[in-house]
């Protein structure tokens, strides 16, 4: 068992090292002097004068840190894959939530049935780390390298919640959102339904974040007239990002979305 655990650690470090070669560590300091560490992947033709899609990837609670590296644990390799970089050139941001922070104010409490009660988050103000992400997006837009009609947000677990939250708060920003094993108070999605295209992923055996959060969000978005698809993986627990990332059209769908 110790050898297997050691091999897994070595594999994780190798994966992070591979992604680290393409990503670049940076730090954003907000007007209120908050610090947001992040990594950026720039397209190979960044200096060409073209404008590129902007992708924001929000990690889960297990990747919170101040090391500005752990956030690359999930998802970074598919963006730094040379084939994908050539086919889908984009500016990709992987911000890192501080150790004691959250992308949303706090995780929802569970009701008597053990389900997360999203209603109590219906009027939350934005969490500081997520506000810093919004400001970081605006910074990159201001640098005039971003195609404002092709801004995307992707997130898993806590980051899936943050993805829903960003799309609900700033629907005018995003062409598409991919929340994975997340959740939100469904009525908050009414404005986003009119402007943002959604793909939602969840495992039906998830014991950490119930799939009911994604189901309810999907049904609300459908009711509001959104362009939304929901994928639920039978027997999959909390790591639904693995089958989500392996969907053959994951990148194709994301990068073809464009605001009118």
pLDDT in tens, 219-240: 999 999 999 999 999 999 999 9
Q: Given this model, what pLDDT does residue 70 score?
A: 98
**Residues of the chain whose pLDDT is less than 70?**
1-21, 120-123
Residue 143: give the domain boundaries.
2-256
Report yes or no: 210 and 242 within 8 Å, Cβ to Cβ: no
pLDDT of residue 89: 96
Look at the chain and report how many structural domains it folds into: 1
CA nearest 156: which of 131, 181, 177? Answer: 181
pTM: 0.90
Q: Encode pLDDT of 88-128 as tens digits.
A: 999 999 999 999 999 998 778 877 777 787 876 666 789 99
Q: What is the CA radius of gyration of the chain?
A: 18
3-state SS string over the chain?
A: CHHHHHHHHHHHHHHHHHHHHHCEEEEEECCCCCEEEEEEECCCCHHHCCCEEEEEEECCHHHCCCCCCHHHCCCHHHHHCHHHHHHCCCEEEEEECCCCCCCCCCCCCECCCCCECHHHHCCCCCCHHHHHHHHHHHHHHHCCCEEEEEEEEEEECHHHHHHHHHHHHCCCCCCEEEEECCCCCHHHHHHHHCCCEEEEEEECCCCCCCCHHHHHHHHHHHHCCCCEEEEEECCCCCCCHHHHHCCCCHHHHHHHCCCC
What pLDDT sits at residue 115? 79
Looking at residue 194, which CATH number applies to its domain? 3.40.50.1820
């Amino acid at each position: 068992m110790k050898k297997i655990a050691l091999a897994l650690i070595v594999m994780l470090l190798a994966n992070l090292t591979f992604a680290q070669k393409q990503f670049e560590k940076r730090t954003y300091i907000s007007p209120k002097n908050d610090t947001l560490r992040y990594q950026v992947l720039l397209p190979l033709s960044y200096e060409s004068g073209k404008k590129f899609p902007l992708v924001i990837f929000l990690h889960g609670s297990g990747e919170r840190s101040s090391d500005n590296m752990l956030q690359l644990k999930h998802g970074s390799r598919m963006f730094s894959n040379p084939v994908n970089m050539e086919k889908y050139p984009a500016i990709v941001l992987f911000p890192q939530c501080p150790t004691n922070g959250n992308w949303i104010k706090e995780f929802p409490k569970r009701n008597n049935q053990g389900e997360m009660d999203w209603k109590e988050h219906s009027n939350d103000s934005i969490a500081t780390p997520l506000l810093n992400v919004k400001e970081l997006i605006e910074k990159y837009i201001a640098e005039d390298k971003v195609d404002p009609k092709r801004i995307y947000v992707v997130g898993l677990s806590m980051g899936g919640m943050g993805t829903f939250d960003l799309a609900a708060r700033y629907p005018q920003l995003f062409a598409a959102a991919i929340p994975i094993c997340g959740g939100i108070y469904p009525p908050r999605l009414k404005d986003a339904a009119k402007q943002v295209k959604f793909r939602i992923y969840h495992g039906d055996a998830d014991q950490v974040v119930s799939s009911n959060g994604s189901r309810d969000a999907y049904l609300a978005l459908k009711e509001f007239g959104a362009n939304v698809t929901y994928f639920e993986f039978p027997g999959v627990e909390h790591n639904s990002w693995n089958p989500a990332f392996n969907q053959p059209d994951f990148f194709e769908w994301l990068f073809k979305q464009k605001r009118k």
